[in-house]
Each structure stands twice: as structure tokens, then as C-alpha cells.
Amino acid sequence: MTIHKTVLLSETIEALNLESGMTVVDATLGGGGHSKLVLEKIGDSGRLIAFDQDQAAIDRFSAQMKSGRVGDLKAEIFLVNKNFSTLKDSLISLEINSVDAILADLGISSDQLADTDRGISFAGDAPLDMRMDMQAQLTAQAVVNDYSQQDLVRVLKEYGDEQYANSIVAKIIAARSQQSITRTSQLVAIIEAGVPGQYKRKKIHPATKTFQALRMEVNQELESLRSFLFQAIEVLKPGGRLAVITFHSGEDTLVKHWFRENARGCICPPQFPQCRCNNKPALKIITRKPIVASDEELAENPRARSAKLRVVEKV
């Protein structure tokens, strides 16, 4: 059973222009909300390939399929327990060379936040883990205890935009010299000791940015996203659409710039009297500005406040 509320559900599916019989990739299965609606659109003759590196997400969706909660459709469904950065190779292994549409929701599911074995949330007390793929080697405990002071500051600034990165990391270094930091509650207390009083009185918890940064480092989220985007354009059919929902400024910047670069035509210097590069755009941008959650959705699901949907079409 999933407790996750899918963000920008109808907006994403509508933007993909889905039709009966299409082959669609849900690159981030999560709670399965997008996949269920995709199946309704593509019908019995369609194919859905759903990726998730979290085996628990695959198991939950499989259980829903067996119980009939996914629907009575006869579409082909492939569940792939891998990171979406394996997109092209995974499709080849399924003997699928191209697809009609791809969607990726980069948010963390409520199921993962509630998993007390993951330590993704700073609420409560849990092992300092943060892995999406529980078979992966790197954990948040290893990052916190083994990274150099310089690398920890880099992680907090680059992935968390944490203004007090230096003072937080100084407290981490001092604490770990006494004993290993193994629990989320330990880390929260260290972070709170490393920020000024007024920072603790803000709307967001003072540990929010540090936990986000550590999770992104552990799961190499931006690197996986870059790899996925390059592969997505390769496997999309002409006229096929790619929809990406971001929740983090670094993710959104990466997606926005990648879309723009691939939607450019001529890249010759402006002083050239005529084009010599013969560069042709690979994508057409569908959403000039990102689509964001409506007031109604925000009232029901406050976690949607930072969601941004961007959509492109392959030329």
C-alpha cells in the first residue's frame, strides 16, 4: 500500500499527448500514480516500462497489479528495478528500441520518507542511510564520517544551498572526532548546534537543506539525471514527448539548460554572416515557463509547492 500523493498528475499526462497503443516510460515509478493514468490512456494495446531503483516501490506496484487496483487493462507492463540512468540499455534488454513518451518525477515519495530504515527524513530517529537503492555501497553515514571537511562543505553548498555549510560542517568534524555519527537524531542535533537561533525559527527545519544535500550525494542524483536526459532524447521517437518534474533548484536548472541547448539551431558566432555549423534543433520546448501546482493541489499536498514541470518534444 502506498501513502504517496502524486504531484502534477493530470498536467503531466495531458502534456504527454498519450494515445492508445503507445509505448511509454515512467522513469520514476514511485507510488505509481502517473503509471496508473498512463495505462488508462494507452489502453490494452499499449506498453508501459516503469523504472525504480527502489525495490520496495516495484513490490508495492506489483502488489497493486495482483490485487486489481491498477485496473483491468491488458497492456504490457515491464517493471525495471534499476536507476533511470540505465534507460537505453534496459530498453535494449527488453528488445525495445524506441518509445513514444517518457516522464520522470524527481521527487522523493512519501513512502520513502516514512521508511524508518532509510533515514531520509530528519523526523524521528533512524539509521543514517539515505540510499534509494539498498544494494548501493555509499551511505549518508559514510559521507558524514569519512568525507573531508572541504568535500562536506562542497556537498552542502552545491546540493543544499546551505548558507551555514561551514559552521555545520565544523560541528560535524568536531562531533565525529569523538564518536561516529550513525543516527539521524545525532545529525539533527549537530546541525542545530551549528546554526544561529533565528535560523531555527524559520518555516523550514534547519536540517532540511543538509539532509537534502546528503541524500543527493549518496544517490548521485544530478549525475544520474544528466545521463538519463541524454539517453531519453536518443530513445524517443520523433514527435514523442519528455516530461520532467523537478523539486530542487539544481535539478530544475540542469533540466532547463539541457532543454534549451538541445532546442537551439545554429550555434555559429553572431559575427558569422551565414550559418556554417548546420546544427539542427533536436527538441522543441513545449513549456516556455514551467507548470506549477494549482492552489487546490497545494491545499491538499503542500509538498507540491516546489514542483516544476517542463516538457519538450523530439523534432
What's the pLDDT score for residue 66? 84
Note the Cα 186 to chain centre separation in Å. 27
What's the Cα-to-Cα distance from 97 to each of 56, 231, 236, rounded to whole Å?
A: 28, 12, 9
**Shared-domain flag, residues 210 and 226:** no
**Shared-domain flag, residues 208 and 238:** no
**Shared-domain flag, residues 238 and 204:** no
CA atoms within 13 A on the CB side of 176: 22
Crossing angle (nearest 10°) for helices 208-218 and 149-160: 100
How many helices (H) and strands (E) the chain has is answered by 14, 7
**Shared-domain flag, residues 13 and 103:** yes
User: Could you tell me if residue 231 is inside a domain?
Assistant: yes
Of the candidates 196, 81, 180, 97, the residue with the CA atom closest to the CA atom of residue 139: 180
> Domain containing 210 — which CATH number?
1.10.150.170
User: Could you tell me if residue 131 is inside a domain?
Assistant: no
**Shared-domain flag, residues 190 and 226:** no
Quickly count: other Cβ atoms within 10 Å of residue 182's Cβ.
17
Domain boundary among 179, 203, 218: 218
User: Could you tell me if residue 294 is inside a domain?
Assistant: yes
Residue in the block written with cell 516510460: 25
**Shared-domain flag, residues 206 and 225:** no
Q: Give the total number of structural domains in the chain.
A: 2
What is the rounded CA–CA span in Å between residue 56 and residue 121? Answer: 17
**Shared-domain flag, residues 214 and 240:** no
Domain boundary among 218, 241, 258: 218
What is the rounded CA–CA span in Å between residue 22 and residue 96? Answer: 12
What is the rounded CA–CA span in Å between residue 230 and residue 238? Answer: 15
User: Could you tell me if residue 145 is inside a domain?
Assistant: yes
**Shared-domain flag, residues 197 and 284:** no
Residue in the block written with cell 518534474: 245
User: Could you tell me if residue 20 is inside a domain?
Assistant: yes
What is the rounded CA–CA span in Å between residue 123 and residue 303? Answer: 15
Long-range contacts formed by 72-75: CB under 8 A, 24+ apart: 73/39, 73/40, 73/43, 73/44, 74/44, 75/39, 75/42, 75/43, 75/44, 75/45, 75/46, 75/47, 75/48
User: Could you tell me if residue 4 is inside a domain?
Assistant: no
**Shared-domain flag, residues 210 and 63:** no
pTM score:
0.91
What's the pLDDT score for residue 3? 59
User: What is residue 44's three-state secondary structure?
Assistant: coil
What's the pLDDT score for residue 4? 64
Domain extent for 86: 9-111+221-314
**Shared-domain flag, residues 58 and 200:** no
User: Could you tell me if residue 83 is inside a domain?
Assistant: yes
User: Could you tell me if residue 130 is inside a domain?
Assistant: no
List the chain residues with pLDDT less than 50. Answer: none
> Domain containing 228 — which CATH number?
3.40.50.150
